[in-house]
Structure 1
Amino acid sequence: MWDNPRLTRRLDLLTSSVEREGNRAELLIDGVSAFPRRYENSADAELILVKTFIFYEDEAGHAIAKLLSERAQAGAEVWFQYDQKGSIRGPEDVQNMLTLADDERLLGELPLVRKMRKAGVHIIASNPVRRAKGIARWGEFVDSWSEARGGDPKVRILPRFDHEKYWITLNPLPDGDRELRVILGGLNIASEYAYGGTPQRDAGTGRRGWRDTDIELRGPVTNDVVSRYLDLIEIHTSERLAPGERGRLNPTQGVKGDAKARFVWNHPILGNKRRIERLYNELIDATPDGAPIKIGTAYFAPGRRITRPLYRAARDGGALTVITNSTESVDMWFVTSASRHEFRRLSRINPDLGLYEWLPQPEQGWFTYHSKQAAFGSCGPVIVGSANLDAQSSEHNSESVVAVRDAQLRADFDQMFAADLRDGRVARVDPAELGHVGPIERIKELTIYTFMWYWLDGGARGPGFGGGGRL
């Protein structure tokens, strides 16, 4: 079924991607496993390519900056891309940046970023704030958003973000070969990501760990990921890499395992929207009637390209299970209302669906559910990446995912997903409760869902025609 040539051709065409054979893939569950693997892979790497949406000057940020600086000073080539807007926590960060303004960077940069630059790390600040007034306003915006998390009645339009996350290393092997290792998924560089799955708390910010998922890849698919990273260097610097640089930085990789992997990315500002939505659409449609579909996402407010096949699966008796955040765990308060709106629609079609909301467990390092993952059928592909199922990810953000077909990875995914459904981590949403919600709350939910799809899509087509926040 999943080797169907017609499905493969459709995925190739609709997602502008190719499925690569001969890969090795491993889930990295929470920061407790994902961050140590970053350190391990970097220890002897001759090349390190990092991209993150969030880079905070907290305990985890300082530790990563120290690692990258030390590797650069030891002779490794280190590149660091970070979304500047995503890495500003408030007015204090803005003031710290402005104190480091110079002729090259008129609005400065974070002190920790400056330290890495001085240590020899190649720094690329994507999505920068370009005016002094703009950077001050952005700092105030982020600060007020944080403070109003529990109930600010205003819904703000978020800008475009560079939301992809990569940790790529090129490591020498004993036989003289060089191996690319790619980690991608949901984890940014901040203590809430690093401390996921642990009882640790950042002494400065007080933040606890979050539930999140990365995947490590080795093999031919890594060349596709590195090619994307190098494209982003050229996009953000407006300079072409020197002839021969791509071959040096992205050596062709041989067979590393049995996994088949497809790397898919969106970059709406370049006109490449909804490839990831199309991937979900095709895989949901390809799932046999009655077979399981498992989705975990921080923000669940999908557009029609995903809801239409989900509705069909629900009508046909599909075993759909969705995990997303509750009002207690979510960091973007209004998204839960949009999720509830979609849950109600699904429950009307099939009240037996498994629709769950995450319950905060800060002592275990699982305060917020930040994973972006899915699996299809009883033995079908697994998706892991940076993209949420909402308008922000489809319409505004650059995003990436990998779809992997591998028996061991699928078994590991099913075990991980089952663990998230037990031990008091989630609460099942009661269809009867959804049905008893009053008209005012329903109007609020519909309004927010419509806002997310109409306004974030530029108002061109109305709600529901495309495919999240902090993304």
Structure 2
Amino acid sequence: MMTNRIEHAGIAKPAVALCLMLLAGCSSIPIMVPDMAMQPSRPVRLEGEQGPLTAEQSKAILARLEKHGDETNIFDKHLALESEIVGSPLVTGNKVELLIDGPATYDAMFAAIEGAHDHINMETYIIEDDEIGQRFSALLIAKQQSGVQVNLIYDSVGSLATPETFFAPMRESGINVLEFNPVNPLMTRKGWQVNRRDHRKLLIVDGQVAFVGGINISSVYSSGSFGGSKNSDGTQPWRDTHLRLAGPVVGEFQKLFMEAWNNQVGAPLATLDYFPDTGSPGKEIVRAIGSSPEETYSQIYVTLLSAINSAETQIFLTNAYFVPDPQLLAALKEAVQRGVDVRLLLPGKTDSALVFYASRSYYDEMLSAGVKIYERQDALLHAKTALIDGVWSTIGSTNLDWRSFTNNHEVNAVLLGQEFGAQMQAMFEKDIASSRLITLEAWRKRSLAARIMEQAARVWSRWL
């Protein structure tokens, strides 16, 4: 199977990519048939900072959420669905901040890192040796030298262009640096499964605050994507979305980091306060979802597919790499037939031409089915978010493609509630205002050359 594309233009290495393509195996997405008519077999139970809440406590919280919502059973339906899917718990009492683009995200991350006093756990697909990467490195080294233990996981393929000299000062300072699935088979600590990549973007500080979303550590995110500004080097700005979370759900993200560390046979982690009492700083209900190819199926895939199949009013998907499998494609088309407003926000420009044209090969089929497609202009869209029925939201690292669902380690946050859903809708509408609507009539007038490239890329859709 082909290596995961490097997410920034200009750093892919053809020889390495070809080698990985020839050596790696192929996977497929298992057929999922979620029962969308199911009713919970027991009352919905939530968890808080002290563990599972009583039935009475859960009922009171849900009644409060329903009181502030519309007179509809949509929230109940998504809540019941989410509670029945096996995986991590639904956790209440969280404070969530929506972070749009790199500058806001990095400022929040830097503030959290500077305030750390016990530990910093960081997991990223890409960390580049550039201005942003160097700033992170300097901050992490300073915190390590001040007595805060820093543990870093970076992906070998994602950070292929980052030299070892970038990581050496970190290691010398005492930071635990772990390369995920090294490309070099001589460097592996377990079986060589080079096609399995760590695509997560996760930062946890003191077990109190977590950051999750689509943003890597790179200067391509140096400027915001609205207002026409460009990066300092004149390149196109990147559009992405991240989350800052505080509260008991941070412990669930902490577990995911530690599982990844242990599965990669990292050095034993120092005994620290990884799971402190976080209190309940907010009221958001959040579920942490970590998907891994070692599992029978992708948790986020099943969760998203189930939410799509249960949608009643709207499905707003924003994604950088849209190469759907038959089930996802069918679910979107069937939603339109039920009268659901289905909108896809996809890139108008990309860092991967092959994926770009493979994605466009599905346009005619989707447009013919009534799916609305928008392409973001004046920025390179890299976000991975979804909003369904105004109450079910997700932000994370997962693309809507075969690789994310079958070969990558991914991490997402699922949030339930209309208040956060309103923020997601406002963000989506702002992106739509900077996007171009693709119509079926105009699409069918595209050039023969574009059609040929689309079909050629479509052949590789399962291996991108």
TM-score, reference length from structure 1: 0.76
The aligned amino acid for 1:390 is: D
Aligned to 1:142: none
Aligned to 1:114: 168
CA distance in 2, matches of 1:160, 1:194: 29
Asked whether 1:375 is paired with 2:387, we answer: yes
Match of residue 126, structure 1, among 180, 183, 186: 180
Aligned ranges 1:240-251 → 2 under 5 Å: 245=271, 248-251=273-276
Indicate if the aligned counterparts of 1:53 and 1:188 stay in contact, CA closer than 8 A.
Answer: yes
CA distance in 2, matches of 1:308, 1:254: 42
Aligned to 1:201: 231
Asked whether 1:409 is paired with 2:420, we answer: yes
Distance verdict in 2 for CA 1:440–1:369, change over 3 Å: closer
Q: Deviations over 1:18-50 (max 9, x none)?
A: 211111111000012100000111112122111
Aligned to 2:318: 296
Q: Deviations over 1:182-219 (max 9, x none)?
A: 1100000010124344846355xx64531100011111
Aligned to 1:75: 147
Asked whether 1:21 is paired with 2:75, we answer: no
The aligned amino acid for 1:358 is: R
CA distance in 2, matches of 1:272, 1:188: 27
The aligned amino acid for 2:424 is: F
Structure 1 gaps, min length 5: 98-109, 135-157, 171-178, 362-366, 457-468
Match of residue 205, structure 2, among 164, 169, 172: 169
CA distance in 2, matches of 1:296, 1:2: 21
Indicate if the aligned counterparts of 1:314 and 1:346 stay in contact, CA closer than 8 A.
Answer: no
Asked whether 1:51 is paired with 2:123, we answer: yes
Aligned ranges 1:219-258 → 2 under 5 Å: 219-237=247-265, 245=271, 248-258=273-283
Distance verdict in 2 for CA 1:294–1:15, change over 3 Å: farther
Aligned to 1:277: 301
Indicate if the aligned counterparts of 2:197 and 2:408 stay in contact, CA closer than 8 A.
Answer: yes
Q: Secondary structure at the match of 2:200?
A: coil
CA distance in 1, matches of 2:330, 2:429: 26
Aligned to 1:356: 374
Distance verdict in 2 for CA 1:45–1:34, change over 3 Å: same
CA distance in 1, matches of 2:195, 2:340: 36
CA positional deviation for 1:265: 1.7
The aligned amino acid for 1:355 is: I
Aligned ranges 1:209-224 → 2 under 5 Å: 209-224=237-252
CA distance in 2, matches of 1:58, 1:238: 26
The aligned amino acid for 1:229 is: F
Q: Deviations over 1:132-170 (max 9, x none)?
A: 899xxxxxxxxxxxxxxxxxxxxxxx9332100111111
Distance verdict in 2 for CA 1:208–1:342, change over 3 Å: closer
CA positional deviation for 1:445: 2.8
Asked whether 1:426 is paired with 2:435, we answer: yes
Count of residues in correspondence between the two structures: 384
CA distance in 2, matches of 1:10, 1:382: 13
TM-score, reference length from structure 2: 0.77
Distance verdict in 2 for CA 1:413–1:18, change over 3 Å: same
Q: Which aligned segments of 4 or more residues in structure 1 are displaced greater than 6 angstroms? A: none
Identity of aligned residues (%): 24
Indicate if the aligned counterparts of 2:178 and 2:266 stay in contact, CA closer than 8 A.
Answer: no
Moved more, 116-125 or 12-21: 12-21
Q: Secondary structure at the match of 2:264?
A: helix
CA distance in 2, matches of 1:450, 1:2: 39
CA distance in 1, matches of 2:186, 2:364: 45
Aligned to 1:452: 461
CA distance in 2, matches of 1:200, 1:438: 30
The aligned amino acid for 1:354 is: K
Indicate if the aligned counterparts of 1:299 and 1:335 stay in contact, CA closer than 8 A.
Answer: yes
CA positional deviation for 1:357: 1.2
Distance verdict in 2 for CA 1:305–1:218, change over 3 Å: farther
The aligned amino acid for 2:168 is: R
Indicate if the aligned counterparts of 1:191 and 1:209 stay in contact, CA closer than 8 A.
Answer: no
Q: Secondary structure at the match of 1:249?
A: coil
CA positional deviation for 1:446: 4.2
The aligned amino acid for 2:458 is: Y
Q: Over the residues paired in the alignment, what is the CA RMSD in angstroms?
A: 2.6
Aligned to 1:150: none
Indicate if the aligned counterparts of 2:144 and 2:173 stay in contact, CA closer than 8 A.
Answer: yes
